[in-house]
């Protein structure tokens, strides 16, 4: 039934889920904007982060919202190391090679998770996961509200890093004009690794936000990340506002689409949008030319 409260509820939930999509997309677009590669390993890294958050709660009893404080820096380090030690050296700057290396990493990480932890889907049971807040028009689960707030904070922090710190300015310089940045003394290898690290940290934070209401298995990240790819392409590769706005839009589209057409077709619908955008306007709403 198309009653207003239900519609509003779908939209609000879409916005809240969309905020997490936006966070994942943010990491992806940051990496593309600076390194000019599409990080095919993004999904596998999200799966790894989900497992990390899961075990943090399961084995050590750490609440996911606290686990963020450990996992974000840890995954930052992981991302930094991956770019500096594996992807950068293996690809030697060639675009085709980078495609294959990130694909190889994706396959390696996802299947390593499969090998280590099997394919069973797991979830955690947070005591307050189902508490709701009454927002006049609709009820909203507490974790979702927290996610929205956290994403907002992360976006703000990233903006501060980019505009106020030297590293952030260096990152923007490399994104704009790599050769010039290099000639003015910026260590591009280090900046690439820092950016990859930041993108991976975004993914880790998203995982912690997701885990109260989402599931964990080796391919969970991929399902999520194909949507992130769609957002990044829609919003424009390398555009931060594009990723944020696109994330919210797609979240709402998915929520309404799933509502009207059922979940599977909702997903297929998103990929069809994705294909359509790539064919018709690859630079998306805010991005530079493909």
Partner 1 sequence: MRAYLPIVIVVAALAAVPLFVQSNVVLNFLIVALMIALAGQGWNILGGYGGQYSFGHAAFFGTGAYTTAILQVHYEVNAWLGFLAGIAAGAVAGGIIGGLTFRAGLRSSYFALVTLAFAEVLRIFASVAPITGAGVGLLIKLDLHAQAFQFRSRAVFYLIILALVAASLIIAQTLERSRFGAWLVAVRENEDAAMALGVNATAVKVAAMTISGAITAAAGCFYVQYFLFVDAPIGYGAWISIEALLTPIIGGAGTVFGALIGALAVKSIGEGAKFLTGDIPGLDLMTFGAVLVLVIAFAPRGLAGALMDGRDWLARRFVPLRKPAEGTTHG
C-beta closer to partner 1: residue 110 or 254: 110
Give the CA radius of gyration of the chain.
Answer: 19
Q: How many CB atoms lie within 10 A of CB 93?
A: 8
Residue 31 in contact with partner 1, rule: CB under 8 A:
no
Q: How far is the CB of 235 from partner 1 (least distance, A)?
A: 14
Q: How far is the CB of 113 from partner 1 (least distance, A)?
A: 7
Cα 105 to Cα 125: distance, rounded to the nearest angstrom: 31
Q: Considering only residues 103, 142, 146, 285, which one is a binding residue for partner 1 as defined by CB under 8 A?
A: 103
Q: Considering only residues 142, 146, 162, 278, which one is a binding residue for partner 1 as defined by CB under 8 A?
A: 278
> Exposed, middle or buried: residue 153 (CB in 10 Å: 0-12, 13-18, 19+)?
exposed
Cα 258 to Cα 264: distance, rounded to the nearest angstrom: 8
Q: Considering only residues 8, 74, 99, 161, which one is a binding residue for partner 1 as defined by CB under 8 A?
A: 99
Helix (H) or strand (E) holding 121: none
Query: Which x/- pattern over 111-150 shows residues binding partner 1 (rule: CB under 8 A)?
Result: xxxxx--xx-------------------------------
Q: Contact 65/230 with Cβ under 8 angstroms? A: no
Cα 214 to Cα 223: distance, rounded to the nearest angstrom: 12
Residue 161 in contact with partner 1, rule: CB under 8 A:
no
Q: Contact 106/40 with Cβ under 8 angstroms? A: yes
* Segment contacting partner 1 by CB under 8 A, of 32-40, 121-129, 142-150, 248-256: 32-40
Of 118, 113, 116, 122, nearest to 47 (Cα)? 113
> Exposed, middle or buried: residue 29 (CB in 10 Å: 0-12, 13-18, 19+)?
buried
Query: Which x/- pattern over 199-218 shows residues binding partner 1 (rule: CB under 8 A)?
Result: -------------------x
Q: Considering only residues 21, 148, 229, 286, which one is a binding residue for partner 1 as defined by CB under 8 A?
A: 229
C-beta closer to partner 1: residue 28 or 206: 28
Q: Contact 194/80 with Cβ under 8 angstroms? A: yes
> Exposed, middle or buried: residue 222 (CB in 10 Å: 0-12, 13-18, 19+)?
middle
Q: How far is the CB of 63 from partner 1 (least distance, A)?
A: 30
* Segment contacting partner 1 by CB under 8 A, of 13-21, 107-115, 124-132, 195-203: 107-115
Residue 81 in contact with partner 1, rule: CB under 8 A:
no
Chain residues that interact with partner 1, rule: CB under 8 A: 37-38, 40, 86, 89-91, 95-97, 99-101, 103-115, 118-119, 218, 226, 229, 233, 264-265, 267-268, 271-272, 274-275, 278-280, 282, 290
């Amino acid at each position: 039934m198309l009653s207003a409260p239900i519609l509003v509820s779908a939209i609000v939930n879409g916005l809240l889920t969309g905020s997490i999509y936006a966070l994942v997309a943010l990491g992806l677009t940051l990496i593309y904007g600076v390194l000019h590669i599409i990080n095919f390993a993004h999904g596998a890294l999200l799966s790894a982060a989900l497992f990390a958050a899961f075990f943090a709660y399961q084995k050590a009893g750490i609440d996911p919202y606290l686990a963020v404080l450990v996992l974000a820096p840890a995954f930052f380090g992981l991302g930094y190391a991956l770019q500096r030690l594996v992807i950068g050296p293996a690809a030697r700057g060639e675009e085709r090679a980078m495609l294959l290396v990130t694909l190889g990493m994706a396959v390696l990480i996802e299947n390593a998770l499969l090998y280590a932890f099997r394919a069973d889907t797991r979830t955690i049971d947070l005591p307050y996961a189902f508490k709701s807040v009454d927002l006049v028009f609709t009820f909203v689960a507490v974790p979702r509200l927290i996610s929205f707030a956290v994403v907002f904070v992360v976006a703000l922090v990233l903006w501060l890093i980019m505009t106020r710190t030297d590293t952030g300015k260096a990152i923007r310089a490399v994104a704009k004009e790599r050769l010039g940045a290099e000639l003015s003394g910026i260590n591009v290898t280090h900046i690439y690794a820092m950016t990859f690290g930041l993108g991976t940290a975004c993914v880790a934070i998203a995982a912690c936000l997701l885990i109260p209401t989402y599931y964990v298995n080796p391919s969970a990240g991929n399902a999520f990340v194909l949507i992130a790819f769609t957002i990044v392409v829609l919003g424009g590769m390398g555009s931060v506002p594009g990723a944020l706005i696109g994330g919210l839009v797609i979240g709402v589209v998915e929520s309404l689409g799933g509502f009207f057409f059922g979940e599977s077709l909702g997903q297929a619908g998103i990929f069809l949008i994705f294909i359509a955008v790539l064919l018709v306007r690859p630079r998306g709403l805010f991005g530079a030319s493909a």
